[in-house]
Amino acid sequence: MSLTDRSQGAAGAPATPPPGGRRRGLTVADIVRAVTSGPLPVRVTAYDGSALGPADAGITLSIRSERGLSYLLTAPGDLGMARAYVSGDLAIEGVHPGDPYDALRVLAGVRMRPPALADGVTLVRELGWERLLPPPAPPQEARPRWKRVVDGLRHSRIRDSSAISHHYDVSNAFYEKVLGPSMTYTCAVYRSPDDTLEQAQANKYDLVAGKLALRPGMRLLDVGCGWGGMVRHAAREYGVKALGVTLSRAQAQWAQAAIEREGLTGLAQVRHLDYRDAPREQFDAVSSIGLTEHIGVRNYPAYFGFLRDRLRPGARLLNHCITRADNRAPHRSGAFIDRYVFPDGELAGPGRVISEIHDAGLEVHHEENLRQHYALTLAAWCRNLVEHWDFCVAEVGAGTARVWGLYMAGSRLAFERNGIQLHQVVATRNGPDALNGYPLRPDWLP
């Protein structure tokens, strides 16, 4: 159906005109129909009284204002929908905003597309050019990549600091509610789907400790340490002297307070540092849990070279990071993730990560994909957000809370459908004659 045809409501009857307003030639339903492909699996309702899609659909998208429509039209795809949703101009009915997973699963096949030429001319004539100018973005949105040059080149120290602050310096109180007592913002490891989130995060830290063969008295460097979960676990459970570094000042302050509260001051420490400024000495083990995603693919050689130089001969590295599902996918993230979640974040395929570790002079011994575990982790975080929704909204605002629900539910779906993966890689820095002390079989397995 073309926009030049007579506007019809969802059931074929003329659409209801807006209350108190004059009838326009086009309804919002007509416009949505023109810029979406295929039949909609959800109901769409609009501020002008028009609607389309099945009346008995379990999910309804409600376009609440002209600004919401402008967001959808001026940035087709996930960015436009995100802007409208975060601002509150687009509501998703039938799901909780802390966990819109069911809606995203249903909408996964829906694509917004540019209108046909004739329809585009009709849109301009009916709506006017001013309606097709993008409204100001919600305050939660980061600047586009080209405007970030004022913060320096991509993955420079200043720009990385700004990107990390955008995501991690939101509110420690907010993170406490979403992440739970462990304050761990990385993939957990589930021995059973019935494990609690806390059990699964402890499992993850034990797995990392086992892969690194941690023993009392060893020295561990944890780069990109977050709120110090691995540092505190290694010190408390394994008697390891652990140093963590993070580019987030809020994380470092919370972690140091937790270390003192737990009586670990003599063993554990977290510093507010760029990983490139970590002490230039050698450690018995190095862990990188969730940092590789932030450093930029072109910086992999320098990054893994830095980690190699922090290992004594024979010591082990554990690198834990999200990857693409293959080695051909683009490195840069989509518009929503880049603007609202991880500015400048990049992902490579698992083969690229392993190759770069090898090429840095390390020997890879073991690799494991924990994709399904991350889907379970994200589902648990969404449950926490739903449970503490009112507190989280009061702490960070409704728009930011909606960003987190959308991001975590969407990421869960991506992990479930193998759009992205999570890989742990174990490598060693070999000593003379390639000696590394690595066992004939993995020593962390039963």
CB atoms within 10 A of CB 118: 11
Tens-digit pLDDT string for the chain (446 aa): 445 443 333 333 334 444 443 335 789 998 898 888 778 999 999 999 999 999 999 999 999 999 999 999 888 778 999 999 999 999 999 999 999 999 999 998 887 776 676 766 777 777 776 667 889 999 888 877 655 555 655 655 565 555 555 555 678 999 999 999 999 999 999 999 999 999 999 999 999 999 999 999 999 999 999 999 999 999 999 999 999 999 999 999 999 999 999 999 999 999 999 999 999 999 999 999 999 999 999 999 999 999 999 999 999 999 999 999 999 998 988 889 988 888 878 999 999 999 999 999 999 999 999 999 999 999 999 999 999 999 999 999 999 999 999 999 999 999 999 999 999 999 999 999 999 999 999 999 86
Q: Angle between the 249-261 and 229-238 helix axes, to the nearest 10 degrees?
A: 20
Q: Specify the pLDDT at position 418.
A: 97
Residue 320 is encoded by which pair of tokens?
A: 């834990």
pLDDT for position 83: 95
Q: Please give the pLDDT value at position 144.
A: 74
The DSSP code for 220 is: E
Sheet containing 60-63: give its strands across: 51-52, 43-46, 60-63, 90-93
DSSP 109-174: T--B-PPPHHHHHHHHHHH-GGGGSPPPPPTTPPPPGGGGGGG-STT-HHHHHHHHHHHH-S-HHH
pLDDT value at residue 390:
98
Angle separating helix axes 371-387 and 172-179, nearest 10 degrees: 120
Query: What counts of helices (H) and strands (E) characterise the chain?
Result: 17, 11
The whole-number pLDDT of residue 173 equals: 95
Domains of the chain with CATH codes: 28-132 (no CATH), 158-429 (3.40.50.150)
Closest to 377 (Cα-Cα) out of 348, 346, 414, 331: 414
**Alpha-carbon gap, residue 368 to 370, rounded angstroms:** 6
In the structure encoding, which two tokens stand for residue 200, read together? 């699964």
Alpha-carbon span 170 to 341, nearest angstrom: 11
- 209, 285 Cβ separation under 8 angstroms: no
**pLDDT, position 146:** 56
pLDDT computed for residue 215 by the predictor: 97
Per-residue model confidence (pLDDT) at position 400? 94
pLDDT at position 12, please?
35
| CA dihedral of residues 244, 248, 253, 258 (deg, nearest 10) | -50
The backbone torsions φ and ψ at residue 287, rounded to the nearest 5 degrees and listed phi first, read -120, 140
